[in-house]
Structure 1
Amino acid sequence: LIGICFVYVVEQREQPHLRGQPTTVVQYNSWKGGGLIVVSYEACKYGVKRSMRGDEAKQVCPQIQLVQVLVARGKADLSIYRNAGSEVVSILARKGRCERASIDEVYLDLTDAAEAMLAETPLESLEKIDEEALKSHILSLNEDGSDHKGNVKEWLHRSDADHHDKLLACGALIVAELRMQVLKETEFTCSAGITHNKVGSSVQFRCLSFILHHLMEGKLSSFAYAGQTSKWKQLGGKLGSSLQIDLGVNTVGELLQFSEEKLQERYGVNTGTWLWNIARGISGEEVEGRLLPNSHGSRKTVPGPRALKKIASVEHWLNELCEELSEYLHSDLEQNKRIAHTLTLHARAFKSSDSESQKNFPSKSCPLRYGSTKIKEDALNLFQAGLCEFLGSHRIKAQGSHYNGWGITSLSVTASKIVAIPSGTCSIMKYFHGQDQSNCSSKQANDRFVAEAAPLSPSGTERYSELHTTELPIEFRD
């Protein structure tokens, strides 16, 4: 897993005078100087932490540079960082199969490149190793602190290493080369966790995110086992909670005390075997060849006293979020010839009578219709359906547009199930803008494609027709 350390580095590239100075990027909300989004290594040396706000950071480090994130539609605009991530991925893809994990993280499968390197030149015969590779941190490598680079070089040159460990060593050399290439072409820095599988690389990367480049030898080390279960993919939800509450397991290493049979008895055959395997660093999940995101989304967080308590306020932010989502969709359609099929609304809410209801607002989905107006209409219907279910009432009475006793602290809309448009299908961009379709072979064929692009939503959510033909049981009073 390769992490692109570019949030503040992007700002430094845009504003060269920031280079080498303690820098932090702050939120658009300027209260107490704004919350810190990311802190540069230079600022960390002065004791600046992400949990601080801008004013507190200035007290700790008076010379710190506070850069406010760009704002669009009343929320943070991450376009500049998203585009920067694409720059880096295009370089990484030269050496192997890439899978975008997030805006600033990517999985990179170096198996073929490592095998080719090993076949061409045995590691023990390498005369010169790049200085960047010698900075690698190898977990389980015992060091006395006297000669780190010498110890790393000796590890890389081992003649008695098995084939898998030699591939890891080749991975370290390749990643060092890629990091230098990224720095040269984009001026961005990267960190990496290298191991035999995706699960291990992800955990190693997060456990050692403060190290610019680190390498893991063989199976997962005891240091990785010290990581909380929530750091592991698929262990942050109900399963992770059950492990902590029912089995007293707070770190992945503590799973080793349970037999495979015990875990299967508790969580079923498949999940039990999976837990037994990941505790030993065993994972067969492959890196998918995906340079493009598999979903698009836009989100607004409104915590505490800023929570949304009126339908009008919710509708305002849904309009903003849907406008942004529509732009992403049309850009993806135009540049990558892909179309999304499902629209999903997520929210976090509270009831004044139930402080524990924060996570209970149901997510709702429906087939996605292109065009910002249609997306807005569908998103509002999804929200109203979710609100009815959240409040547990078939009819909700309110004065004006104000609902008593509830508030929304987070709101997001997501477009998923994105697929490539079948070859031979004419562009549907003009269709959505209502422009002339004379360049298409048949308007009927175009209409049929648009209809086929909106299948029914997944089981357990509303059908599209139901959302638009059934009046929702919400009553407003003046």
Structure 2
Amino acid sequence: MDAFYASVEQRDNPMYRGKAIAVGGSPEGRGGVVATASYEARKFGVRSAMPSKRALQLCPELLFVRPRFDAYKEVSRHIREIFGRYTDLIEPLSLDEAYLDVTADKQNIGSAIEIAKLIKQAIREELQLTASAGVSINKFVAKIASDLNKPDGLTFIGPSSIESFMEQLPVEKFHGVGKVTADKMKKMGLFTGADLKKLSEQELKNHFGKAGTFYYRIVRGIDDREVQPHRETKSLGAEDTFPYDLTLVADMEIELEKIAKTVYDRLQRYNLKGRTITLKIKYSDFKQITRNQSFPFPVGDMETIINTAKQLLAATWPEDKRIRLLGITLSNFGEITPIGDKPDHPGQLSLFDFEE
């Protein structure tokens, strides 16, 4: 979807149409963060994940709008229903993005490009919103294609042109290459896919670890990942950035209780329990740590979440430290098969799989 949250707000509120708006936290006080900016705001350099204060400096006319996630979720459900008219192989990435495998399309249209056009048309007519689509033979190339001609774009990259396309692509445009990695690549003289292609797989692994193999394959247009319509939920959590730094443990515990309630409600919604509870702490200097505790059985009750989070907090000696953010996450969902139930079981996997 194109500038999804902002586009929904402009659709639903005439006063926002044609205006530079940012959905996210207000710049007042310590200031929030931009979740999505309208295209009118992007002309000034306003981007998602940018501090709201910085966004206002770039665009003094910027209007800030509080998110309405219930509205966005409802639109997302409608979009998913449109997808389902053409294929059952749908892998959601977020509320506004998904992979579709239309190899076997339900309406026997026979053309991925035509299906993309029909989906875009349905979204425009039924939701008064625009979407951009990328069409190719694998997930990685389709993802890049979808970003090339936004808003309201449709880009096809066929099998015969994939390698030449990847060779010309700047490294920062590679999906999954962040700013830090892109900067490292440029310092090594790697500016495009063609530059990456000059290095062997082992050389890329030496410089970038396991990701080196991914870069080696992807620059050649190789991506064998299947579209996963029932992708497993790995974790579920919530966090909050406070308008002022917390220095009293009592205040921190009050905020943890609020966050734990949000996490508990989300667990109930999806009928999930987890074996690992992780506490996230970000200090006023932006240093961030995580602490976790794992259980031999899945938990999801409010009391356990709150008590565990408070115990993990106490273990960090938080008194008089300045904390700007706290978060709680549950992971390792599902049941454990007890050792001994299977005679040939090689041993139980470690429950402590989070890095601090």
Check 1:259–1:183 CA distance in 2 against 1; reply closer, same or farther (3 A cut). Answer: same
Partner of 1:474: none
For the pair 1:407 / 2:322, whether they are aligned, the reply is: yes
For the pair 1:364 / 2:305, whether they are aligned, the reply is: no
| AA matched with 1:328 | R
Q: Deviations over 1:75-103 (max 9, x none)?
A: xx633323332321222132221111123
- C-alpha contact (below 8 Å) 2:131/2:152 kept by paired residues: no
Structure 2 CA distance for aligned equivalents of residues 381 and 7 of structure 1: 37
> Any unmatched runs of 5+ in structure 1?
71-76, 119-169, 334-338, 388-395, 421-454, 463-478
Check 1:24–1:245 CA distance in 2 against 1; reply closer, same or farther (3 A cut). Answer: closer
| AA matched with 1:102 | S
- C-alpha contact (below 8 Å) 2:172/2:178 kept by paired residues: no
Check 1:411–1:80 CA distance in 2 against 1; reply closer, same or farther (3 A cut). Answer: farther
- C-alpha contact (below 8 Å) 1:22/1:42 kept by paired residues: yes
Q: CA deviation at 1:345?
A: 2.4
Partner of 2:215: 275
Q: CA deviation at 1:105?
A: 1.7
Please point out which of 58, 73, 76 is paired with 1:82: 73
Give the count of matched residue pairs. Answer: 332
Partner of 1:330: 268
Aligned-partner SS, 1:99 = strand
Q: CA deviation at 1:288?
A: 0.4
| 1:201-220 mapped onto 2 (5 Å cutoff) | 201-206=142-147, 208-210=149-151, 212-218=153-159, 219-220=162-163
Structure 1 CA distance for aligned equivalents of residues 212 and 42 of structure 2: 41
Aligned-partner SS, 1:80 = helix
Q: CA deviation at 1:7?
A: 0.5
Among the aligned pairs, what percent are the same residue?
A: 21
Q: CA deviation at 1:293?
A: 5.4
Structure 1 CA distance for aligned equivalents of residues 237 and 168 of structure 2: 32
Partner of 2:98: 106
Check 1:35–1:295 CA distance in 2 against 1; reply closer, same or farther (3 A cut). Answer: closer
- C-alpha contact (below 8 Å) 1:25/1:36 kept by paired residues: yes
Structure 2 CA distance for aligned equivalents of residues 102 and 5 of structure 1: 13
For the pair 1:376 / 2:291, whether they are aligned, the reply is: no
Please point out which of 236, 259, 267 is paired with 1:321: 259
Q: CA deviation at 1:366?
A: 2.5
Q: Deviations over 1:351-405 (max 9, x none)?
A: 8xxx6x824x1342434522323211122223344x2xxxxxxxx5xxxx733xx
Q: CA deviation at 1:343?
A: 4.1
Aligned-partner SS, 2:246 = coil
Which has the greater radius of gyration? Answer: 1
Structure 2 CA distance for aligned equivalents of residues 56 and 259 of structure 1: 45
Q: CA deviation at 1:110?
A: 1.9
Partner of 1:286: 226
Question: When the two structures are superposed, what TM-score results if normalisation uses the length of structure 2?
Answer: 0.75
Check 1:366–1:275 CA distance in 2 against 1; reply closer, same or farther (3 A cut). Answer: same
Partner of 1:340: 273
Structure 2 CA distance for aligned equivalents of residues 241 and 310 of structure 1: 40
Partner of 1:228: 172
Structure 1 or 2: more helix by fraction: 1
Partner of 2:28: 31
| AA matched with 1:263 | L
> Any unmatched runs of 5+ in structure 2?
336-347
- C-alpha contact (below 8 Å) 2:46/2:59 kept by paired residues: no
Question: When the two structures are superposed, what TM-score results if normalisation uses the length of structure 1?
Answer: 0.58
Please point out which of 308, 311, 315 is paired with 2:249: 311
- C-alpha contact (below 8 Å) 1:307/1:408 kept by paired residues: yes
Please point out which of 58, 79, 86 is paired with 1:95: 86
For the pair 1:197 / 2:197, whether they are aligned, the reply is: no
Structure 1 CA distance for aligned equivalents of residues 27 and 283 of structure 2: 25
Check 1:248–1:358 CA distance in 2 against 1; reply closer, same or farther (3 A cut). Answer: farther
| AA matched with 1:199 | F
Check 1:105–1:185 CA distance in 2 against 1; reply closer, same or farther (3 A cut). Answer: same
For the pair 1:11 / 2:9, whether they are aligned, the reply is: yes
Aligned-partner SS, 2:156 = strand
Bigger CA drift: 173-182 or 78-87?
A: 78-87
- C-alpha contact (below 8 Å) 1:99/1:291 kept by paired residues: yes
Check 1:37–1:265 CA distance in 2 against 1; reply closer, same or farther (3 A cut). Answer: closer
Structure 2 CA distance for aligned equivalents of residues 21 and 222 of structure 1: 35
| 1:168-179 mapped onto 2 (5 Å cutoff) | 170-179=111-120
Q: CA deviation at 1:299?
A: 1.9
- C-alpha contact (below 8 Å) 1:345/1:413 kept by paired residues: yes
Structure 1 CA distance for aligned equivalents of residues 41 and 203 of structure 2: 47
Q: Deviations over 1:23-79 (max 9, x none)?
A: 51443435189754333234556x47345657557745xxx7x35215xxxxxx633
- C-alpha contact (below 8 Å) 1:346/1:411 kept by paired residues: yes
- Alpha-carbon RMSD across the aligned residues, in angstroms, is 4.0
Q: Deviations over 1:162-189 (max 9, x none)?
A: xxxxxxxx32221110111122333332
- C-alpha contact (below 8 Å) 1:346/1:362 kept by paired residues: yes
Structure 2 CA distance for aligned equivalents of residues 196 and 18 of structure 1: 42
